Amino acid sequence: MIVAVGTDHAGFALKPTILDAIRSAGHEPLDCGAFEIVSGDDYPDFAERVARAVLDGQAERGVLLCGSGVGASVAANKFVGIRSALCHDTFSAHQGVEDDEMNVITLGARVIGPSLAAELVATFLRAKFSGAERHRRRLDKIKAFESQPRR
């Protein structure tokens, strides 16, 4: 599986750990930047790169890093078809895929350390969507939200 990875300046130091975790899990990372620390860069730019890589079929899943993880997750979820969640525990990292077909995991580099980050990514990548009827039904409701006109 190809996994898109994006980070702003706040997550940059954690990126090598994430790239290694993806490779160790037997997958190929697609580095969507940042490629150097730029203190004024903006997490939505990297969320967009990862989201578009997933939506365009360049990657099957994505990993986003920013300071808290909140902003990057919010930004990624603005793209129809992206289901991103901020995860700082292994249950959420696998359950989000199994039940909610999460395709992007977001991590807060200022919240968790490298060992937990690597474990979360490995857990996320091992997980498979269950396809259970109740989960498909719930996802259909979410997809219906995305197609509704704004009021």
pLDDT of 148: 87
Q: pTM of the prediction?
A: 0.97
Judge whether residue 149 has pLDDT over 90: no
Confidence of residue 122 (pLDDT cuts 50, 70, 90): very high
Report residue 24 CA to chain centroid gap: 18
What average pLDDT does the structure give for the chain?
97
Which of the following is catalytic: 66, 76, 93, 121?
66
Enumerate domains of the chain plus CATH numbers.
2-147 (3.40.1400.10)
Mean pLDDT of 56-85: 98
pLDDT of 14: 98
Q: Contacts by 80-85 with C-beta closer than 8 Å and gap 24+? A: 80/146, 81/54, 81/55, 81/146, 82/51, 82/54, 82/55, 83/142, 84/47, 84/51
Per-residue DSSP letter, 150: P
Q: Does 66 participate in catalysis according to the annotation?
A: yes
